[in-house]
Amino acid sequence: MRLRKKSRRRKITGILIFLCIFVLLTALVLTVNYFNNQNVYLTEYEYANENLPAAFDGYRIAVIADIHNSVYADKFIELLEQAKPDAVLFAGDMIQKPDESLNNVLKIIHALPNDMRIYGIFGNHEASNGYIKRKKISDSLREAGVTMLINSYDNITKDGETIRIIGIEDVPDEFIDDEELQKIRKTINSNVLKDSFNILAYHRADMYPQISDLPIDLILSGHMHGGIIRLPFVGGVIGKQGNLFPKYTSGVYKETSAAMIVSRGCDFNPDKARLFNPPEVVLITLIQD
């Protein structure tokens, strides 16, 4: 009987020790994750391409995707001051629907140098608003000095050489179908600058397979929020439709001649608790190959 009691005590003690260790480790992970999510980190990539004009070798583009009017405007400003990009792209979802506030985004924009090229495209959060609200949002951004790429393009010229950046206006999720895809493809094709380096700014990274065959050199995207939860050697866990282990959540993809760089996003939203997935600003340095 004594042996049985000792055996039971050992089992109970072992279980209690395991539970204590589990609780402590969980608390540690959540604490570290909480502080990670209070910061914004810079993720740097180099992209080399033979089509890039020599004048743009070393040209740096900062991508801010899915900011959702984050409250950490000062941290973005500090990061951009350190990064010193030549251009900044707000790659969609600048607002958090249904709220159309842009105060923190505008604070970042007003802190940038006057000669900085600043671009903006609409993501699904902006697209979910009616025409009047969308116009109000784009007008506010344009007044702040942003070049809005709404199914349009802008040429960047340096030392007599030119590259082009094309922007696609997103639509609400329920409008993404074959007909909309054909419209997107037609818009891209009609805006491409032949015999030059073309950048496409399009919010939805998950649409890469449907557009990667087009004559684009580099696609800049977001939308996937890094898969919400990220695991080592696995990547993103949760897709936009609730699907598990989605593709195109973060980093560089090159399945055709068109490469894509995806930002994990940089929002702070308690309803989308990011785990092992801190907010980021992406900085891309273009290299002539």
Residue of 145, 146, 164 whose CA lies nearest to 155 = 164
Enter the tokens of residue 73: 């405007």
What pLDDT, on the 0 to 100 scale, is given for residue 49?
Answer: 96
For 76, how many CA atoms within 13 A lie in the half-sphere containing its CB? 30
Helical H runs in the chain?
2-36, 73-83, 103-111, 124-127, 131-143, 178-191, 208-211
- Residues 235 and 152: their CA atoms lie apart, in Å, by 33
Q: Are strands 235-236 and 230-231 parallel, antiparallel or unpaired?
A: antiparallel
What is the reported pLDDT for 38? 75
b/e per residue 86-123 (b: at least 16 CB within 10 A): bbbbbbbbbbbbeebebebbbebbeebeeebbbbbbbb
The whole-angstrom separation of Cα 151 and Cα 226 is: 25
Query: What does the block give as tokens for 178?
Result: 């074959």
Residue 43 φ then ψ, to 5°: -110, 120
d(CA 68, CA 25): 31
DSSP string, 179-190: HHHHHHHHHHHH
Which pLDDT score, from 0 to 100, does residue 270 have?
A: 62
| pTM as predicted | 0.90
Place of tokens 């070798």: 57
Which residue blocks in 84-123 are alpha helix, DSSP H?
103-111
Residue 150 confidence (pLDDT) = 95
Side chain identity at 50, as an amino acid letter? E
Give me the helix-helix angle, 103-111 and 73-83, nearest 10°.
Answer: 30
- The CA distance from 102 to 66, in Å, is 13
pLDDT tens track, the chain, 289 positions: 555 556 677 777 777 777 787 777 767 766 766 766 778 899 999 999 999 999 999 999 999 999 999 988 999 999 999 999 999 999 999 999 888 899 999 999 999 999 999 999 999 999 988 888 999 999 999 999 999 999 999 999 999 999 999 999 999 888 899 999 999 999 999 999 999 999 999 999 999 999 999 999 999 999 999 998 888 888 989 888 888 999 999 999 999 999 999 999 987 666 667 888 889 999 999 999 8
Q: Which amino acid is at 195?
A: D
Q: Which tokens belong to 64?
A: 């801010």
Pairing of β 41-49 and β 161-167: unpaired
Counting Cβ atoms within 10 Å, is residue 50 exposed (0-12), middle (13-18) or buried (19+)?
exposed
Q: What is the DSSP string of 246-288?
A: -SS-SEEEESSSSEEEE-------TTS--BS---EEEEEEEEE
